[in-house]
Chain A
Amino acid sequence: MKKSRRNFLKFAGLSAATLCFSPAAGALAAGHGTPHPKPNADQLKAKRWAMVVDTRKLNTDEAIAPLVKACHSIHNVPDIPGNKNIKWLWAGSYEETFPEQPNNFPSEDLERRRFILLCNHCDQPPCVRVCPTKATFQRPDGIVAMDYHRCIGCRYCMAGCPYGSRSFNWGEPRDNLDLKALNKEFPTRMRGVVEKCNFCVERLAQGKLPACVEASNGALTFGDLSDPDSEVRKVLKENYTIRRKPALGTQPSVYYII
């Protein structure tokens, strides 16, 4: 009796030890047999993506239009007449872009300038804070992304965003798209979900820069804010830049050279 109990305990201890090690064994085996995901080999990587807009070079509706077109056609963004439109990238005046830094006597140049507007991909994004389903979330590289599959369309993020960067699909977006001219590599959205600029996360994964940056003839600089030697940091070091509504503490990742 005694002996068998001792044996039992020994056996139990041994089994427990095996159990402890087996997950590790499983992980080792995963390299070959088990299917798994991994990042693309040719992706562009950063700790925090950021953009610098040189408004001295890019400041008219005519100059901004091709960038908007590049963005909206790649991402199948509809154009809806009226106040229910969808916007990923658009243009605004100084007053609209920086309403908290007004000036009663601005320079003529500044008064005429148009500024590109897009999601700021904030470091402290209020939209992510308020989303009840994590449908909008912040990636480790700082990009504020949207999961359209999960969005319930409560529009809390739109109330939370102090930059008006989010658009809701009030109706069926395909009703306002030229369905023959769609980019078939990218989906559309469905009605009832919120959408916005995604910093071309799908292009970064393929080693390409965002579409607007590519179309900007150097007026937009894109890179890793956390890397002191990156192009964006160089541009920020050499120029006077401002961000939208800095007092709100959202820490936008889009900078404007004035």
Chain B
Amino acid sequence: MQYGGKIITGLIIFLGLLCVPLLFNTASTGNAAYKQPKLELPKDEKKCIESTEFMRREHMQLLNDWRDWALRDGQRTYVNAEGKPFSISLQNTCMKCHAKKAEFCDKCHNDAAVSPYCWDCHIQPEGLSNEKK
């Protein structure tokens, strides 16, 4: 192989760089196994609009559907699998029960390093303060 040594060295360096984030994470978390974050659940409400498993897996898709149904199709009532109606609204339905975004949404989103842009427009139940920008 022409330039064999150089190519292999280059590949090794490339792979090394590729692995840096993983190594860094392992080092910073002390190699501990991932722990599911503890979410603060509503006190006076036992049941979400759908099952916990469904919400955990599908909430992003559901919120997408909710957005289009309410905003684009003018259908602002959601009838769940049990036939129970809910008003389609992130601020006025979801966050009325999950009244602390920091203790609910952010917990998993921070762990998973995702930052959905919901809160660029929607107002979190904690409210906004003028100082925090």
| Interface, chain A (partner B; CB < 8 A) | 32-41, 43, 76, 137, 139-141, 145, 147-149, 174-175, 178-180, 182, 184-190, 201, 205
Contact = CB atoms under 8 A, between A and B. Distances in A.
A175 B79 contact: no
Nearest to A173: B121
Given A145-B71, A205-B76, A189 B121 contact: yes
A48 B75 CA distance: 17
Nearest to A146: B71
Which of the four size classes fits the interface of chain B? 20 to 34
Contacts, number: 83
Given A35-B81, A184-B91, 6 more contacts: A35-B50, A39-B77, A178-B130, A186-B91, A190-B120, A190-B121
Nearest to B66: A37
B38 interface: no
B92 A185 contact: yes
Contacts of B72: 137, 145, 147
B47 interface: no
Contacts of A33: 81
A5 B50 CA distance: 48
Contact of A139 (B74, B85, B121, B130): B74
Contact of B83 (A32, A40, A145, A182): A32
Contacts of B75: 37-39
15 contacts: A32-B83, A35-B80, A37-B69, A39-B77, A40-B76, A41-B77, A43-B76, A147-B71, A174-B133, A179-B128, A182-B123, A182-B128, A184-B127, A188-B123, A189-B121
